[in-house]
Structure formats: structure tokens, C-alpha cells
């Protein structure tokens, strides 16, 4: 009953905004859970004038060890929902979804759903800047099992910078530690140290670590603690925000469709209270979330 009322209200809100704003809407940001908030917080810092709708599929997180088909299906459901809410542009603030679902959505689904809208990922913009960051061409990627298996980072990096040596490390426990708020615990020390030692045993010359999962900035203090001096740690928020700014400058037809009232709306597939509580940690700000179901 309450859910139906909420859906009805949402529908009315979306319909009204469509009547009032034609084909305009907020920028959608999607992640499996809380991780995309590290991207949204940088959007809000660099491009505060835009409206944003955040959708976290917390009920089904983590995505990291799910199959290609499942990540694609869940991501498509989220993109559809954000389109229904009027978003002309959706950013997949999730490496796993960018690695496993983005291409199929862009090539197969978007033309059928609405060819005038756009869905963008976060792997390409991250890869683009790495050539200027690494000094010796040895790059280490920390990511979920899904992102590592997809080889998206290696493929993109080698295409853009032939000769670069890319070593990926699956950090299966990092997202569960964060989603369960254990990222400051001794358990977190154990797993962070283990993965750092392991990646360096595979390539001791690595001079750049990429946090290839949007959750990982929450573990930054631990990661710094076990990273040898001289290795640069790259996290994605600022990079992706700069890339969005460039995209909007280069695409005025899309920029004109993005509403600029500075509003932020948060949706989660899990409990709204739980989301609001945890989102504070990521955004350092109070957040009022709403629950929705994806199907």
C-alpha cells in the first residue's frame, strides 16, 4: 500500500517534471550500493548546479562476484528506472556495471529505449588520465572479481597505451567490509595488506595503484598505510567529475537537457533509513533516501 502510494507519487512527480521541462531531467548516478556516492560527491563539488538522482541497488549488492548476465540485467533495470524518472543522462558510478553492462546497454538497449539519451561509464575516463600519472608504465588495478575478469582495464589501457604493464588484483573482501561498515576494523587491515602485498609480488615495479571500484576510497587510509612510498594512489571521483564536465561542455544538446536546481534525490532498493545512515559517511552530509524496487 505504502509502496504503491510512493510509486504513484513518483510517477506524478516524473510526469509533472516532463510536462514542465519537456525532455529535461536530473543526471542519474547508479551503483550497486554506496560506492557511487564517492563519485556523486565529486560531481556535487565540481558541478553543484545540476540536479542528481542517485540509485543504489543495496538490496542486491555486491555485484562484484555476480555473472555477466546478472550484472547486465540488474544494471539495465536501474537505467530504465532512471530514464522513467526523466534522466537524460545516466552515469554508471560502478566499475563492475561499467565493465559488464555498459557496452551492451549502449549498443543494444539504448537505440530501443531512447536513442537521444546517454549512459556513460567510469572506466574509460579513468584509463585516459593514467598515461600522465604513471612514470614507468607499470600500473596496478584493485577491483572486484567481475571487473578483473572482464579485463576491461587491461584492454582499454593497452589499447590507449601499448607497452603499458597492467596487473590486476581481485579484492573480494573490500566491498563487503565497506558495505558492512567494517572498513576501519583490524579485519580491513588484514585484507588490504594482503592484497597490496600480493599485487606487488606479481609486479614489484608498479608505480601507480588504481582504486578500480568506487567503494574503495573508504579504505584509503588503510591502503595508504600499506602502500610503499613512491607509489601513486589514484581514486576515480575527481577524474570522473572532470570528465563529466568536459562531456557536458562538448555536448551542449545534452547539457541543455540537464536541470540545474542543485537538487539531490536518493533511492535505494534496501531500507531507506539504513541508506541515509550510511550515506552520511560517504557524503559527509545528511541524506533523505527513498526505497524503490527494481524489476
We find the least distance from the C-beta atom of residue 173 to ligand DGL, in angstroms, to be 11
Task: Enumerate the H helices of 24-144 as residue ranges.
Answer: 37-46, 68-84, 95-100, 102-104, 110-113, 123-133
Cell numbers 529505449 label which residue? Answer: 113
Question: Can 213 be counted among the known catalytic residues?
Answer: yes
Rounded to whole angstroms, the Cα distance separating 206 from 165 reads 9
We find the least distance from the C-beta atom of residue 216 to ligand DGL, in angstroms, to be 8
Residue 213 within binding range of ligand DGL, rule CB under 6 A: yes
Q: How many residues bind ligand DGL (CB under 6 A)?
A: 17
Q: Please identify, using beta-carbon distances, which residue of 192 and 258 lies nearer to ligand DGL.
A: 192
* Pattern 110-139, ligand DGL, x by CB under 6 A: ------------------------------
Q: Which of 41, 75, 96, 152 binds ligand DGL (CB under 6 A)?
A: 96
We find the least distance from the C-beta atom of residue 166 to ligand DGL, in angstroms, to be 17
CA distances from 253 to 58, 120, 214, 258, 260 (A): 33, 16, 28, 9, 14
Instruction: With CA atoms as reference, report the closest residue to 191 among 180, 175, 167, 202.
Output: 175
Rounded to whole angstroms, the Cα distance separating 197 from 191 reads 10
Task: Please give the grid coordinates belonging to residue 153.
Answer: 582495464
Of residues 16, 108, 171, 213, which has the active-site annotation? 213
Q: Please identify, using beta-carbon distances, which residue of 238 and 255 lies nearer to ligand DGL.
A: 238
Of 59-78, which residues contact ligand DGL (CB under 6 A)? 61-64
Q: Which of 144, 170, 227, 235 binds ligand DGL (CB under 6 A)?
A: 144
Residue 269 · residue 23 · CB < 8 Å: no
Rounded to whole angstroms, the Cα distance separating 57 from 266 reads 11
We find the least distance from the C-beta atom of residue 75 to ligand DGL, in angstroms, to be 11
Q: Which of 41, 77, 147, 154 binds ligand DGL (CB under 6 A)?
A: 147
Residue 79 within binding range of ligand DGL, rule CB under 6 A: no
Sign of CA dihedral 91, 37, 167, 132: positive
Residue 154 within binding range of ligand DGL, rule CB under 6 A: no
Question: Can 16 be counted among the known catalytic residues?
Answer: no
Q: Which DSSP helix (H) or strand (E) runs through 226?
A: helix 220-226
Residues interacting with ligand DGL, by CB under 6 A?
A: 31-33, 35, 61-64, 94-96, 144, 147, 175, 213-215
**Catalytic amino acids?**
94, 213
Amino acid at each position: 500500500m505504502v509502496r504503491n502510494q510512493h510509486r504513484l507519487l513518483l510517477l506524478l512527480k516524473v510526469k509533472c517534471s516532463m510536462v514542465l521541462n519537456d525532455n529535461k531531467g536530473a543526471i542519474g548516478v547508479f551503483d550497486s550500493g554506496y560506492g557511487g556516492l564517492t563519485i556523486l560527491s565529486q560531481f556535487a563539488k565540481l558541478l553543484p548546479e545540476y540536479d542528481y538522482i542517485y540509485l543504489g541497488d543495496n538490496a542486491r549488492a555486491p555485484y562484484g562476484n555476480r555473472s555477466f548476465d546478472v550484472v547486465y540485467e540488474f544494471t539495465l533495470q536501474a537505467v530504465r528506472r532512471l530514464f522513467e524518472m526523466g534522466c537524460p543522462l545516466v552515469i554508471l558510478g560502478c566499475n563492475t556495471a561499467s565493465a559488464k553492462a555498459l557496452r551492451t546497454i549502449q549498443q543494444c538497449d539504448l537505440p530501443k529505449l531512447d536513442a537521444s539519451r546517454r549512459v556513460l561509464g567510469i572506466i574509460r575516463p579513468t584509463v585516459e588520465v593514467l598515461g600522465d600519472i604513471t612514470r614507468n608504465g607499470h600500473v596496478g588495478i584493485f577491483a572486484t572479481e567481475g571487473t578483473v575478469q572482464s579485463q576491461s582495464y587491461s584492454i582499454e589501457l593497452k589499447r590507449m597505451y601499448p607497452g603499458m604493464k597492467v596487473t590486476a588484483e581481485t579484492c573480494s573482501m573490500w566491498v563487503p567490509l565497506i558495505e558492512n561498515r567494517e572498513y576501519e576494523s583490524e579485519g580491513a587491515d588484514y585484507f588490504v595488506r594482503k592484497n597490496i602485498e600480493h599485487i606487488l609480488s606479481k609486479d614489484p615495479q608498479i608505480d601507480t595503484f588504481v582504486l578500480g571500484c568506487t567503494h574503495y576510497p573508504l579504505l584509503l587510509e588503510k591502503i595508504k598505510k600499506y602502500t610503499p612510498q613512491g607509489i601513486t594512489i589514484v581514486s576515480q571521483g575527481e577524474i570522473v567529475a572532470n570528465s563529466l564536465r568536459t562531456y557536458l561542455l562538448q555536448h551542449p544538446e545534452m547539457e541543455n537537457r540537464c536541470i540545474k536546481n542543485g537538487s539531490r534525490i536518493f533511492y535505494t532498493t534496501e531500507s531507506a533509513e539504513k541508506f541515509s545512515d550510511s550515506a552520511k559517511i560517504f557524503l559527509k552530509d545528511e541524506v533523505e533516501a527513498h526505497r524503490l524496487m527494481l524489476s
